[in-house]
Each structure stands twice: as structure tokens, then as C-alpha cells.
Amino acid sequence: MEESGNSKTGRAKTVLVFQAGGISKAIITSLIANVKDKPSLERLSFKGSCDFHSEVRQQFETTILPIVDEILRLLEIPPKSFELSVVNPGATSASDTGINLQGYSADAPAFLALLSAALDLSVRQDVVCTGHIASPDGDM
């Protein structure tokens, strides 16, 4: 957990697989969630150089964010608005390859980053996670 101005920041490490020069590569990177200083109608926004595929955005908004909201509700904490980004690792910068986040394996690290920021609790940074959260009930 780190403070970024007045907002809280959560970070969860994950593995991203991408194509560079026709070769599949995997890198360890982090998903970063910032709690917005002011509540917004846009509860979840995406920033940075990573292109979050529209299906991934929808999954985060319709499955991951409601799980975070339910945990906050049970703890009697008001809902939060977030900005989500991916650390642009040197491996993609060096190969002049942008990050295009597709598929659902980033669900678990996105959930952890959002919850970490919302609760002001850090996630261990010596652990890397990946995984699909299949429903708002938390089925993985």
C-alpha cells in the first residue's frame, strides 16, 4: 500500500503473456489501483499505456468491482471509485511493444489491487497471482 497524493494505491503482481517479434514472452508486472480523491459516476477508469480490451473492462466493471463493493458494504465502508493501470515493464518498452490486456487471467490481481486500495491494506509483493473470477459470487 502506498499513498499517492490524497488517494490510496493498491498493487498486486501478476504475469502477462504477450507476443514480441512473433515470440511469446511472459513478464511479471503489477496492476495498480488508485482510489480517486472524489467519488465519480465512472466508478472504474483505466489509465496508462496498457490497452485494457473491452471484454476485460466489462468483466472488471460487472464482476470484480461488485465483489469489492460487497466486501466494503459488509464492512460498512462507502463504495469507492478507482483508476486501474498496469506498470509498463521495461521488457515491453525495450521491445517497443505495448501491453494489450486480453482474457480473464488478470481478474484475481485486479481484485486484490482494488481491495488493497479500498481497505488501505497492502498485498504481499513477493507473491504473483493470476486467475479468472467467473461470477460475482467469487467463483474462480
pLDDT, tens digit, 9 for 90 and up, residues 106-132:
899 999 999 999 999 999 989 999 999
Closest-CA residue to 81 (of 72, 93, 89): 72
Q: pLDDT tens, 26-64?
A: 788 889 999 998 777 889 999 887 788 899 999 999 999
What sign has the CA pseudo-torsion 1, 134, 138, 40? positive
Kind and range of the H or E run holding 18: strand 7-20
HSE (CB half, 13 Å, CA atoms) of 115? 17
Give this prediction's pTM: 0.84
Contact 55, 17 (CB under 8 A): no
